[in-house]
Structure 1
Amino acid sequence: MTPVADGGARRLIVEADGGSRGNPGQAGSGTLVIDPESGEILAEIGLYVGIASNNVAEYKGMIAGVTKALQIDPHAELHVRMDSKLVVEQMSGRWRIKHPGMAELAREAHGILAGTQVSFEWIPRLENSRADRLANEAMDKRMSFER
């Protein structure tokens, strides 16, 4: 664990996005893990999802991001930023999850995040352009990548 200046747990930001060309259609996700102290991008992931809805791609991007952040530092506090109001509100527990597929993805995410301090923030789409770019790159190439 890398402590922050105040002696607490390290904080990491996860920016995630997902998209679908057609809904459902060819789908991809993009996510970044960022050190907020330095601004350094610690990881970029593009995930080719295949044929899926936009919401599935959004969830898969968030799951890939929090998984990678916890690989970087299993004790980190995470702050997830997304332009998907649905995922942010469902993961924050403010909206019920009615769709079985979304419920399964939320269960997967909650399992990964068990014991982790995490917060979710909705951001306007224009503030999520880096993750969007990665999602589009994964869709264009029809392949997943990490750098």
Structure 2
Amino acid sequence: MDMIAVRYLKLHKGDMLCFCQVVLGLEPNPVNLAAADEYIQSLKARGLLDLDEEKSEYIVYCDGLCEPNPGGIATWGFIIKQGKKTLHQSCGTAAIGKEATNNVAEYTALINALEHLNSSGITGKIIVKTDSQLMANQLNGTYAVRSKRIIPLYQKARALMKKLNARIVWIPREKNADADALSVKAYCQELEKSRLEKAKTITDIIKTGPYEYIINGKYTVKLNSRPFCTCPDFARHSGRFPIRCKHILAALEYQAEGR
């Protein structure tokens, strides 16, 4: 089976859709394409498929989030890799308020990644990996696109994919952790913007130790490797979205001034 797969992949230059159907006997949906991709990676890892033949292969990991969804803050992140080397990564805000949804964030991540590839003049095999089953299914033609907000994003993404000859596959969320971390980073940065403005108004800061401060006479801030504050705002965001509250930001500014 392995040698048949290797010969077919070399003959057809890694055509995943045909490989999935002809060799594995599976419908080429996002889940099966992801399984086929894992099998191909195992062939490479075992030295059965020459990695030198894949030097021009680029892998794009993209992710988006919206909190709350819909109507919150929608952010995105993507990473472009060639082999084990990271060529580029970026993150940012897609939308805030009524236009913000998780799907808007996912498509914005993809579009930004493809636009970077296009502007960089990168050519070669491009595989996009996403944990959004909806976006993968829509771009592979399995699902229709009905949302008026998504249609123009879909059309733009589809045009870029066609121009770059890129294809998209679905992967489980745990295999998209790096892109997810970038979208979380962008979300936290957006949340901190308003807190930074509020931090500038804080003047009641007392230093009680090398890295410890009392803010406004009641909140304790510790500026160690993982900044901590006793305020309710910090406690609310200490899970997936670990933002720095206005008290931490005020203490950092105080520290930067050498006081």
Question: Does the TM-score normalized on the shorter chain lie above 0.5?
Answer: yes
- Counting only pairs closer than 5 Å after superposition, residues 124-135 of structure 1 correspond to structure 2 as 124-135=172-183
For 1:40-61, what per-residue CA distance to the aligned partner results, in whole angstroms no more than 9, with x for missing partners?
1111110212321001000000
Residue pair 1:27, 1:53 contacting (<8 A) in 2 also: yes
| Separation in 2, partners of 1:115, 1:125 | 27
Q: Deviations for 1:66-108, whole angstroms, at most 9, x for unmatched residues?
A: 1212333442321000000011111111111111111110111
User: Residue 49 of structure 1 aligns to which amino acid in structure 2?
Assistant: A
Change (3 A) 1:9 1:118: farther
The separation in 2 between residues aligned to 1:93 and 1:17, in whole angstroms, is 20
Structure 1 unpaired stretches of 5+:
none
Partners of 2:130 and 2:171 within 8 A in 1: yes
What residue is the counterpart of 1:53 in the other structure? Answer: 101
1:20 aligns with 2:70: no
Corresponding position of 1:102: 150
- Please tell me whether residue 80 in structure 1 is matched to residue 123 in structure 2: no
8 Å CA contact 2:55, 2:82 repeated in 1: no
Label 1:120 to 1:113 Cα distance change in 2 as closer, same or farther (>3 A). Answer: closer
2:82 matches 1:35 = yes
- Rounded Cα–Cα distance in structure 1 between residues aligned with 2:57 and 2:126: 6
RMSD: 1.9
Q: TM-score, normalised by structure 1?
A: 0.85
- When the two structures are superposed, what TM-score results if normalisation uses the length of structure 2? 0.50
Match of 1:11 in 2: 57
Displaced runs of 4 or more, over 6 A: none
Task: State how far apart, in whole Å, the 1-side matches of 2:182 and 2:148 are.
Answer: 27
Judge conservation of contact 1:26–1:139 (CA < 8 Å) in 2. yes
> Please, which moves more after superposition, 127-136 or 62-71?
62-71
* Higher strand residue share: 1
Aligned-residue sequence identity (percent) comes to 26
CA distance in 2, matches of 1:61, 1:101: 15
Q: Is the 8 A contact 1:9 1:77 kept in 2?
A: no
Q: Which runs of 5+ in 2 are unaligned?
A: 1-50, 192-259
